[in-house]
Amino acid sequence: MRKQVLVSVDRAETRIALLEATGQVTAKSAGSGGRGRGRGGGTATAARPTTTGVDGYRVAELYFERRGNRSIVGNIYKGKVDNVLPGLEAAFVDIGLEKNGFLHVDEIVLPGVETVRRGRGRDDGGKKISDLLKPGQEIVVQVVKDPLKSKGARLSMDLTVAGRYMVYTPTGEGVGVSKRLDDKERERLRKEAKGLDLQGGGAIVRTAAHGATRPDFERELQYLFKLHEVLQSRVDSTPAPGLVFQEADLSVRVVRDIFAADFERAIVDDEGQYQRLVSFFSRTAPELVERVELWQESKPLFESTGVDEVIDGLMAKRVDLPSGGYLLIDYAEAGTVIDVNSGSYVGRGKQARLEDVITKTNLEAAEEVVNQLRLRDIGGIIVIDFIDMARARNRDAVLKTLRKALDEDRTKTFTAEISRLGLVEMTRQNVTEGVREIMSRACPTCDGEGVIRSEETIAIDVERKLREVATRAPRSVEAFLVRVHPGVSAQFTGHGARVLHALEAETGKLFHFTGSEGLKLSHFDVVLEGSKVEVSEEAIPFDVGDEVLVTIVEPHMYNVDDAVAKVDGYIISVVGGGQFVGQKHLVRIEDAGRTAAVALLVGEDGEVIVAPERVDGSDGVESKPRRRGRRGGRRRSAAAASAAPDQTSSE
């Protein structure tokens, strides 16, 4: 499969996109776009943007690294054992970070000690961790998994030094070959690596070694041996806890790990990063230097190639499928649940069978699920809820499609059988923070729960607590001014006014409500208590004659010619405002009460437009509006009305 790598470097972050060929190349191919230069002055091109990346390609994987928040996977530290927990068969190691790292007994490698890999929950007579490590002991460890949420980094004492073609393991033995290569190439590489001098260690031949020869291995091993010697000297001179070796930055690391013979090119939009990659390949794979190109177009690389559009969709819960179905992706602490829905897809023709429609949707979903797992880097436990299928052969076909798509995923996965209910349980290795964790934070309103208590629920709670406040108040206190969120104050006006009246009848106290947008929905304050006159004067936000610029939000419930405006939950009935719903308009307050006011429209000439029979309390028969001269009063905006205490709205 043909692939490309795009590297975009900004001041705040580095982004990398891995593109894979789809086999659907248009007339304007991926090699006919913009200009760039490689080492030999060749051209780098930008593909025409499409919904899936660039022509003939789709965005398969995305990598992000923020300044000040780099991944520490691969870093080597000289640490100090903080405490040993025999019950967990693990130790916590201080490596100089905010949280101690976690070291399992299976990851302990010490001179002269043969470690038995027992696996969780087994005891095959291997050494106990309390026999291997003691608090205060200094050890050298490597990070194999970034700190995630409340957990510290996962550590190993089985150190590795990564090159382009091989991973050198000083404490290992023999040569292994990546299982991601086909059998024929694996056998060839095994013969090429046979008899290599590993200086008492071991090595793993990487997927990127496809097509490599013995001289390539020998050259790289010499580089890895020298790097290991440097690490050893740093270990001796570094006090614990301290950093001994820092892994390469994101662009070098990704290109080193995945850039192989099937990659057409790597396009970089930053001169400095371009030079670093050229230098890296000059040392490790000179034949690939010419495939590194510098983007020199005025239009940003990710925008031109359509990658920005893909990134913008990464936070979406819904992912549409080609035939009209869709996925719903839900994240939870214990894992991720992906629900498959048929949506608008009903099959083709009158003879379309339900089972066929369901199977086609599930087959599309199986491929798209893997696309989303790779794009979003979703790890941990994953449950896929496919649409129920009656036939076993259809369930087998969906599972086969899912597993085939997972073959392209470099991350380690395990997939269980599909159940009769259409559920597939799988795991995907979680090494670093996923895209969601990097790009988002918990909602401050719902604390990441996704739901909040309704206004009705909160109003009931407020009523209950105000009853207690009234019970404890001195007899001299006749009324209260209560500040709440406008959504809650609205529960005590209109149809909710009967709740307010019942509360007042029960307690013998008067309650005024003032809305505040800046207040949390679940919070309320009693801002004033005193006599009915004192609180009423403070609570009613407008005086008769005030002119207020309001937004007319909805038609009046009982008269379509009228409309309603709201100022922090305070209701203003606008006579004749029905035709201005959704617009801002100047109105004049004609009557103001505890929970609502009546207002008339003010024309451009400053005169009030009024239907006289409506204001005079007649039966509401239509008549031609007339203009009335301006009364004395203040002209204010709704914003000004809610700014000062004496202008705060009340319910």
Specify the pLDDT at position 188: 93
For residue range 523-538, what is the model confidence (pLDDT) as tens digits? Answer: 999 999 999 988 888 8
Three-class DSSP category at 49? strand
Give the pLDDT mean for 32-45.
40
For residue range 280-289, what is the model confidence (pLDDT) as tens digits? Answer: 888 877 888 8
Specify the pLDDT at position 431: 80
Q: Are residues 328 and 284 in the same domain?
A: no
Q: What is the mean pLDDT of the chain?
A: 83
For residue range 86-106, what is the model confidence (pLDDT) as tens digits? Answer: 999 999 999 999 999 999 999
pLDDT at residue 120 greater than cutoff 60 = no
In a domain, 448, yes or no: no
Residue 395 to residue 211: CA distance in whole angstroms: 38
**Is the previous residue joined to 241 through a cis bond, with omega within 30 degrees of 0?**
yes
In a domain, 574, yes or no: yes
For residue 311, which phi and psi values (nearest 5 degrees)? -60, -40
Residues 109 and 99: beta-carbon distance below 8 Å: no
Give the number of other CB atoms < 10 A from CB of residue 399. Answer: 18
Specify the pLDDT at position 434: 83
Q: How far is CA 633 from CA 196, 448, 547, 587, in A?
A: 96, 47, 7, 12
Specify the pLDDT at position 642: 46
- Domain of 268, CATH number, reads 3.30.420
Q: Are residues 484 and 425 in the same domain?
A: no
pLDDT at residue 648 greater than cutoff 50 = no
Angle at which helix 214-237 crosses helix 183-193, to 10 degrees, equals 70
33-37, 42-46, 221-225, 442-446: segment of lowest average pLDDT: 42-46
What torsion, rounded to 10 degrees, do the Cα atoms 399, 405, 407, 409 define? Answer: -120
Residue 480 to residue 500: CA distance in whole angstroms: 12
For residue range 623-646, what is the model confidence (pLDDT) as tens digits? Answer: 334 444 444 445 555 544 444 433
Specify the pLDDT at position 288: 84
Specify the pLDDT at position 64: 92
DSSP line for 328-373 = EEEE-SS-EEEEEE-TT---SSTT--HHHHHHHHHHHHHHHHHHHH
> For strand 53-54 and strand 49-50, is the pairing parallel, antiparallel, or unpaired?
antiparallel
What's the token pair of residue 426? Answer: 């799988």
Element (H, E) at 155: strand 154-156
Query: Which of 586, 571, 575 has its CA nearest to residue 614?
Result: 575
pLDDT at residue 249 greater than cutoff 70 = yes
Q: Tell me the residue range of the domain where 198 lies.
A: 161-245
Specify the pLDDT at position 558: 83
Q: Are residues 485 and 556 in the same domain?
A: no
Give the pLDDT mean for 475-488.
91
In a domain, 586, yes or no: yes
Specify the pLDDT at position 406: 93
Give the number of other CB atoms < 10 A from CB of residue 48. Answer: 17
Give the pLDDT mean for 45-49.
31
Q: 257 versus 308: which is more confidently predicted?
A: 308
Cα 482 to chain centroid distance, Å, stands at 38
Query: Which of 228, 69, 76 has its CA nearest to residue 155?
Result: 76
Give the number of other CB atoms < 10 A from CB of residue 258. Answer: 20
Give the pLDDT mean for 315-340.
92
SS (H, E, C) 189-245: HHHHHCCCCCCCCEEEECHHHCCCCHHHHHHHHHHHHHHHHHHHHHHHHCCCCEEEE
Q: Are residues 338 and 394 in the same domain?
A: yes
Q: Are residues 233 and 257 in the same domain?
A: no
Cα 84 to chain centroid distance, Å, stands at 35
Q: Are residues 388 and 429 in the same domain?
A: yes
Q: Are residues 432 and 346 in the same domain?
A: yes
Q: Are residues 415 and 469 in the same domain?
A: no
Q: Among 481, 512, 539, which residue terminates a domain?
A: 539
Q: Among 384, 414, 439, which residue terminates a domain?
A: 439
Q: Any idea what the Cα angle at residue 210 is, between residues 268 and 295, rounded to 5°? A: 10
pLDDT at residue 350 greater than cutoff 60 = no
Q: Are residues 321 and 427 in the same domain?
A: yes
DSSP line for 472-528 = HS-TT--EEEEEE-HHHHGGGSGGGHHHHHHHHHHHS-EEEEEE-TTS-TT-EEEEE
Residues 488 and 462: beta-carbon distance below 8 Å: yes
In a domain, 447, yes or no: no
Query: Which of 414, 647, 413 has its CA nearest to residue 537?
Result: 647
In a domain, 98, yes or no: yes
- How would you list the strands of the sheet with 292-295, edge to edge? 36-38, 292-295, 263-268, 3-9, 13-21, 57-66
pLDDT at residue 557 greater than cutoff 70 = yes
pLDDT band at 346; cut points 50, 70, 90: low
What's the token pair of residue 134? Answer: 């003691």
Q: Are residues 398 and 327 in the same domain?
A: yes
pLDDT at residue 24 greater than cutoff 70 = no
Specify the pLDDT at position 595: 77
For residue 75, which phi and psi values (nearest 5 degrees)? -65, 145
Give the pLDDT mean for 139-157.
92
For residue range 170-227, what is the model confidence (pLDDT) as tens digits? Answer: 988 889 998 888 889 999 999 999 989 898 899 999 988 888 889 989 988 998 999 9
Q: How many domains does the chain have?
A: 6
Residue 399 to residue 412: CA distance in whole angstroms: 17
In a domain, 231, yes or no: yes
Q: Among 194, 221, 245, which residue terminates a domain?
A: 245
DSSP line for 571-626 = EEEEET-GGGTTSEEEEEEEEE-SSEEEEEEE-TTSPEEE-HHHHTT--------E
Specify the pLDDT at position 604: 80
User: pTM value?
Assistant: 0.73
Give the pLDDT mean for 594-611.
81
For residue 583, which phi and psi values (nearest 5 degrees)? -115, 160
Q: Are residues 578 and 603 in the same domain?
A: yes
20-34, 201-215, 510-524: segment of lowest average pLDDT: 20-34
In a domain, 444, yes or no: no
Q: Are residues 629 and 618 in the same domain?
A: yes
Query: How many percent of the chain have pLDDT more than 90?
Result: 48
In a domain, 450, yes or no: no
Residues 484 and 519: beta-carbon distance below 8 Å: yes
Residue 180 to residue 162: CA distance in whole angstroms: 17
